[in-house]
């Protein structure tokens, strides 16, 4: 059935020799057992991500033998040992000094050079970084690699900055990752090879097609979009109604929807100490707890009360028990996109099958994810067979992809203005928990998706209000700090965003992209 949609051969254009590369994909914990746990649990570095991004100076066997010989000796200094045997990462690229007086647009246009990284034919044999053939843009700060869903919103800014070759190269990079691994990892690191992120690759292809190549571009990436879709639907033919397997949930009526998933049931290597400590505070089986922690990381919303039991914290996380409304809206778009390109290729049976799947997904989303009591689209708790109680900005995705009715869109817009709109933009959820994907924080990609959905349903005034408030907040923080941030406090614009497992990061790829797109759309409106 669905598996028959995948062609036997994927012909993707990649840099010469890169596809044949057989570099190790082992993660730091796999390469350095014992040493890894000691470094992370003893908090040798304030951020657990530092060690997993470090590059070994010698073969793992040599380093482990040295560690075994030295670590029990009096006066052994673990940090000195790591610094001697590993090259530690640098958070930044080229040196850059902000010139606030030159203005926000100048900062945005020149910041791409700071965040851009060159393509690589290879990396260190035991480094965690996965090589990519073309140049790409990183988010910034501790995020020294490309991130999947971040990159779509970064590309919006690259389009506004007239950098088509960089957009094309990044799309080719993601096509390469799909051809090599069968999916797009969370980021191009070995420790991210157990999970993906929200599937924005199809939207990236569409963004490229609208600006470069039209249907020729859509056809060029058809095989890659299809293979990624197969990754999400891999278990669809083997899961019974009322059960779930990997990323697929089969509802009692037979409809296949999707959830976030991670293959591993171990602590995240990049947040190892945090996960081990959190597991000690839960009564759940640790394997289930770690899986749900990782699945939330796959969602990009790490972490939020969206994934918790009502009134409880991280110890109650249950990501895999929820059918996320945003994920399924994105896959609905992918199904329609693949149906379109299948027809272009003369593959009518495949197109019909995809259109049927898209129609079933749309029907299920409207049936299971619309909460008529709150007039909001929510996640669906497939284990309890009821809508999840937490309202979030993910509820705007049905507007963005155009499956909401006109009445539903109006009701969502009214609720959005009444409860989510703040002085600086849209708050992510209505709960204040200390988690970074809850109030008072707001994030650029969710502002953009909400605005896009509102515009699609004629809610122009509210959309423009959000744009104006978000741009104003970004400008205010830039004037105060000389920086553009990963997240913002929209309830108190004079305060910075906070919460989460690490300090507030600046850079910042998707913030820059959304801000540039908003600025350009505002300029077009005035013309």
432, burial (CB in 10 Å: exposed 0-12, middle 13-18, buried 19+): middle
- Kindly state the tokens that stand for 120: 């690589």
Could you tell me if 266 and 259 are in contact, meaning their C-beta atoms sit under 8 angstroms apart? Answer: no
Give backbone dihedrals phi and psi of 128, rounded to 5 degrees, phi first: -80, -20
Nearest to 53 by CA among 86, 18, 92, 93: 86
d(CA 176, CA 198): 18
**Which candidate in 145, 206, 270, 302 is catalytic?**
302
Can you say whether the dihedral through the CA atoms of 376, 382, 384, 385 is positive or negative?
Answer: positive
DSSP secondary structure, 14-45, as one string = --TTTTT-------HHHHSTTHHHHHHHTTSS
In Å, the largest CA–CA distance within the chain is 73
Q: How many CB atoms lie within 10 A of CB 289?
A: 23
Could you tell me how many helices (H) and strands (E) the chain has, helices first?
20, 16
Q: How many CB atoms lie within 10 A of CB 374?
A: 16
b/e sequence 1-34, b meaning 16+ C-beta within 10 Å: ebeebbeeeeebebbeebeeeeeeeebbbebbee
- Strand (E) or helix (H) holding 256: strand 256-258
Does residue 419 have an active-site annotation? no
Could you tell me if 512 and 166 are in contact, meaning their C-beta atoms sit under 8 angstroms apart? Answer: no
* 187 three-state secondary structure: strand
Could you tell me if 15 and 133 are in contact, meaning their C-beta atoms sit under 8 angstroms apart? Answer: yes
Does residue 302 have an active-site annotation? yes
- Kindly state the tokens that stand for 363: 């029907």
Say how many residues make up the chain: 527
d(CA 81, CA 38): 12
Sheet holding 380-381, edge to edge: 322-323, 380-381, 386-387
Catalytic sites, residue numbers: 302, 486
């Amino acid at each position: 059935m669905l598996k028959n949609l995948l062609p036997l051969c994927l012909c993707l254009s990649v840099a010469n020799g890169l596809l044949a590369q057989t570099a190790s994909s082992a993660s730091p914990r796999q390469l350095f057992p014992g040493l890894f746990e000691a470094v992370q649990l003893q908090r040798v570095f304030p951020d657990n991500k530092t060690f997993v991004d470090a590059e070994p100076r010698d073969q793992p066997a040599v380093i482990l033998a040295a560690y075994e010989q030295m670590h029990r000796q009096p006066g052994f200094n673990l940090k000195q040992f790591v610094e001697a045997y590993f090259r530690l990462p640098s958070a930044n690229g080229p040196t850059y000094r902000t010139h606030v007086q030159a203005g926000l647009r100048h900062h945005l246009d020149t910041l791409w050079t700071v965040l851009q990284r060159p393509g690589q034919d290879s990396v260190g044999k035991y480094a965690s970084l996965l090589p990519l053939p073309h140049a790409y843009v990183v988010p910034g700060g501790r995020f020294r690699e490309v991130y999947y869903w971040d990159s779509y919103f970064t590309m919006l800014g690259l389009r506004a900055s007239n950098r088509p070759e960089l957009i094309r190269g990044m799309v080719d990079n993601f096509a390469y990752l799909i051809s090599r691994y069968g999916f797009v990892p969370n980021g191009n690191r070995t420790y991210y090879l157990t999970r993906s992120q929200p599937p924005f690759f199809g939207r990236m292809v569409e963004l490229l097609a609208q600006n470069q190549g039209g249907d020729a571009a859509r056809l060029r990436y058809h095989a890659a979009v299809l293979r990624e879709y197969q990754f999400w639907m891999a278990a669809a033919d083997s899961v019974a109604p009322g059960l779930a397997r990997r990323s697929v949930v089969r509802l009692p009526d037979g409809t296949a929807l999707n959830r976030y998933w991670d293959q591993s049931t171990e602590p995240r290597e990049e947040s190892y100490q945090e996960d081990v400590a959190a597991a000690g505070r839960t009564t759940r089986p640790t394997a289930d707890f770690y899986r749900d922690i990782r699945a939330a990381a796959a969602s990009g919303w790490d972490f939020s009360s969206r994934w918790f039991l009502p009134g409880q914290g991280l110890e109650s996380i249950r990501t895999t028990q929820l059918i996320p409304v945003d994920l399924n809206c994105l896959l609905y778009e992918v199904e329609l996109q693949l149906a379109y390109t299948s027809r272009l290729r003369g593959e009518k049976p495949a197109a019909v099958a995809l259109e049927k799947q898209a129609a079933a997904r749309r029907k299920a989303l409207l049936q299971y994810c619309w909460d008529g009591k709150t007039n909001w689209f929510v996640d669906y708790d497939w284990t309890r067979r009821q809508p999840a109680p937490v309202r979030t900005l993910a509820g705007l995705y049905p507007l963005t992809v155009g499956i909401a009715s006109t009445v539903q869109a109006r009701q969502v817009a009214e609720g959005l203005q009444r409860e989510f709109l703040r002085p600086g933009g849209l708050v992510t959820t209505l709960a204040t928990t200390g988690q970074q994907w809850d109030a008072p924080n707001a994030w650029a990609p969710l502002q953009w998706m909400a605005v896009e959905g509102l515009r699609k349903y004629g809610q122009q005034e509210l959309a423009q209000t959000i744009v104006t408030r978000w741009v104003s907040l970004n400008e205010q923080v830039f004037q105060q700090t000389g920086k553009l941030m990963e997240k913002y406090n929209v309830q108190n614009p004079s305060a910075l965003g906070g919460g989460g497992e690490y300090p507030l990061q600046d850079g910042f790829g998707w913030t820059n992209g959304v801000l540039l797109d908003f600025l350009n759309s505002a300029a077009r409106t005035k013309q």
